[in-house]
Amino acid sequence: MTISLCRRLRGCLTALLLAWVSTVPDIAAGKASGIIMVKDVLTLPNQTVRIEARLSGKTSMEGQTWDDVPLQLFVDGKPVATASTGAGGQAAFDYTPKMRGTHVIAVTVVETASVESEKGEATLCVWERRRPILLVEMEALIQPDEPMTPPSPVPTGKEAELPAHPLSNAAEELSRLTQYYYNVVYVPTGDQLSAMMKSVGGARRWLSIHKFPVGFVVSLPSRDVNAVIEGFKQGGWTTMKTGIGRTRSFADTLLHHRMEVVIVPEPPKGELPRKAKAAKNWQEVRKKL
């Protein structure tokens, strides 16, 4: 009787324990959910560059802060450095690339941290100064009068976020221009771009989906193209002498800096800035450069 009773009691206790465990939230579910933003980086071969990341909150828990969170940097899938966030969730990594080209950089939260987040990705552009830089306004890549307004609700990370279609042959022609001659810098400006497309991450995803060549995507909170050009010049990148755009303001800014500019598609008569060139479509762009 005693043994049988003990077995029954053990069975009851086991059932109660399993029931209790099933009601306890998963450890990961108890973590605050964050998002990591990483900007594209431009440097020279064998020159140390600082890669900056920012961790901010999608959801937060009581008492949760975004400082002192360990992050890890990957370059082309290989772990290369770690750093912890400081005030405001900012973190920085120092890295010295050896070979020129474009590299995928990613920043993740270390698994043991009290925060979880999808990885933040960006592009590390390791260029040589002598190669010409081509400045491309993002609006010159999309179909006219087709605003990049995402549907609602928006499934995060899906192609449905970025429904706008590229101009015919834009990706192919730009790939030809960058294959042997130009390095490309994308500038997300223009009234037709949604707020999502004006973000570095949104612009980068749209370019990747539509097979555009990898390049440096500028962060433009104030749409100040003049500041972008001045910044490149101050950094020693003086080969930025050509641009492709759609808007009058973009063309005027480049002309002010004595840069050549091609407008595509061709604007209505009388709207082409003096000294700017026009192309009816992307297949004509190379002839104008």
The pLDDT confidence band at residue 158, using thresholds 50, 70 and 90, is very low
User: Is the confidence at residue 3, as pLDDT, over 70?
Assistant: no
Give the pLDDT score at 164. Answer: 79
Average pLDDT in the 111-121 region? 86
Q: Which residue has the higher pLDDT, 68 or 243?
A: 243
Q: What is the pTM of this model?
A: 0.79
Give the pLDDT score at 34. Answer: 87
Angle made by CA atoms 209, 210, 215, in degrees to the nearest 5: 85
Q: Which CATH number fits domain 133-288: 2.60.120.10, 3.40.50.1000, 3.40.640.10, 3.40.50.1370?
A: 3.40.50.1000
Average pLDDT in the 59-81 region? 83
Give the pLDDT score at 134. Answer: 97
- Which of 49-58, 135-144, 159-168 is least confident? 159-168
Give the domain ranges of the chain: 29-126, 133-288
The pLDDT confidence band at residue 270, using thresholds 50, 70 and 90, is confident
Q: Residue 42 CB: number of other CB atoms within 10 A? A: 19
Give the pLDDT score at 148. Answer: 44
Give the pLDDT score at 170. Answer: 96
**Helical residues (DSSP H) of the chain, grouped into ranges:** 2-23, 170-180, 195-198, 200-209, 225-234, 248-256, 285-288
Give the pLDDT score at 11. Answer: 55
Question: Which tens digit of pLDDT belongs to each residue from 75-95?
Answer: 999 999 999 999 889 999 999
User: Is the confidence at residue 192, as pLDDT, over 70?
Assistant: no
Average pLDDT in the 49-60 region? 84
* Domain spanning 29-126: CATH 2.60.40.10: yes
CA distance 205 to 102: 16
The answer to whether residues 35 and 55 touch, using CB atoms and an 8 Å cutoff, is: yes
